[in-house]
Amino acid sequence: MTIDATGTTLPPPTMPAADLAVHGMKQPYHLVDPSPWPILGAAGGFMTVLGIAVAAHFHTYYLLIAGLALVVAVMFLWWRDVIRESRTPGMHSALVRLGLRYGMTLFIASEVMFFVGFFWAYFNFSIFPENLAAPFKAVWPPEGVVTFDPFHLPLLNTMILLLSGTTVTWAHHGLLTGDQRALRNGLLITVLLGMTFTMCQAIEYSDAPFKFSGGGIYPSVFFLATGFHGFHVIVGTIFLAVCWFRARAGQFTPERHFGFEAAAWYWHFVDVVWLFLFVCIYFLGAGPIEANVGG
């Protein structure tokens, strides 16, 4: 058995068949107890989607706020239970942890396809601008669109995310070598860099020479692709912040740290997507550049 910094006894990294009976298990899989969170999460999601429709048509936001509050509450309580299960001897066996890794891998793969749709839309119009249903010349960006200078704020944001990729890797290395201080410091710096990226993107959006509403196809594709990426950065930042609190509580060991590993995978995915956005949309897709836009 392993004892963490809080004095909690953790299960061994593997659970031999002979030890299963000791923990009251007949097989190496974790069969979860009945839980209210799936049905409550579904109800919160339904309320959120319905609330968006109600807010758009009637400008009433009560249902949307209630739905979002329920979703956030379910996320917190459900993940709290998962963390408790992971620290209960016999629950998260080696086979269960392998399944969790498969699940995170498939989730990231689905997120990749999510962004493929945005890139598909962008290249459909940038490579074939004649597809634009407008009485303008077939050029990309469309006539009249002034774009960001890719070597101002976009380049700074690129450097920020690349640096954050190195700090989260530093944290991972510290965890694997038993250096808890490096783990905590690396996570904290990564979280701060993620917050800095979000603030820089907010400044960029406020300086944008084009608007999402009524701006045409270019602003639509730009804000959807970069905006959803920004949302993923916020999610990843929260993910890593939770890992930082867990690291402070001594809940990660070199043998058992899938929660951190999943957050690191997700963060590297966010980094890679941004590199594609920077090269394809900001750099290769640059048109007439207004002085100091995004700078």
CA angle 201, 286, 228 (to 5 degrees): 35
Rounded Cα gap, residues 197 and 160, in angstroms: 7
Number of H helices, E strands in the chain: 8, 2
Rounded Cα gap, residues 295 and 290, in angstroms: 10
Rounded Cα gap, residues 101 and 87, in angstroms: 17
Query: Hey, what amino acid is at 48?
Result: T
Rounded Cα gap, residues 31 and 36, in angstroms: 15
For residue 32, the model assigns a pLDDT of: 73
Rounded Cα gap, residues 18 and 7, in angstroms: 26
Contact 9, 89 (CB under 8 A): yes
* pLDDT one digit per residue (tens) for the chain, 295 residues: 444 444 444 444 445 555 555 555 556 676 777 899 999 999 999 999 999 999 999 999 999 999 999 999 999 999 899 888 888 777 777 888 888 899 999 999 999 999 999 999 899 888 887 766 555 667 788 877 888 889 999 999 999 999 999 999 999 999 999 999 999 999 999 999 999 999 999 999 998 888 877 667 888 889 999 999 999 999 999 999 999 999 999 999 998 899 999 999 999 999 999 999 999 999 988 877 655 555 4
Please, is 15 exposed, middle or buried when counting C-beta atoms within 10 Å of its C-beta (0-12, 13-18, 19+)?
buried
How many C-beta atoms surround the C-beta of residue 72 within 10 A? 11
Q: Residue 147: helix, strand or coil by DSSP?
A: strand
Q: Which domains does the chain have, with CATH numbers?
A: 93-283 (1.20.120.80)
Residue with tokens 């963490």: 4
Rounded Cα gap, residues 266 and 243, in angstroms: 13
Q: Residue 289: helix, strand or coil by DSSP?
A: strand
Q: Residue 9: helix, strand or coil by DSSP?
A: strand
How many C-beta atoms surround the C-beta of residue 160 within 10 A? 22
User: pTM of the prediction?
Assistant: 0.82
Query: Hey, what amino acid is at 247?
Result: A
Of 246, 244, 264, 268, nearest in space to 188 by CA: 244
Q: Residue 133: helix, strand or coil by DSSP?
A: coil
Rounded Cα gap, residues 200 and 202, in angstroms: 5
Contact 255, 176 (CB under 8 A): no
For residue 134, the model assigns a pLDDT of: 58
Query: Hey, what amino acid is at 75?
Result: M
For residue 16, the model assigns a pLDDT of: 53
- Token pair in block for residue 111: 């997120």
Find the distance separating the first CA and the last CA of the chain, reported in whole Å.
55
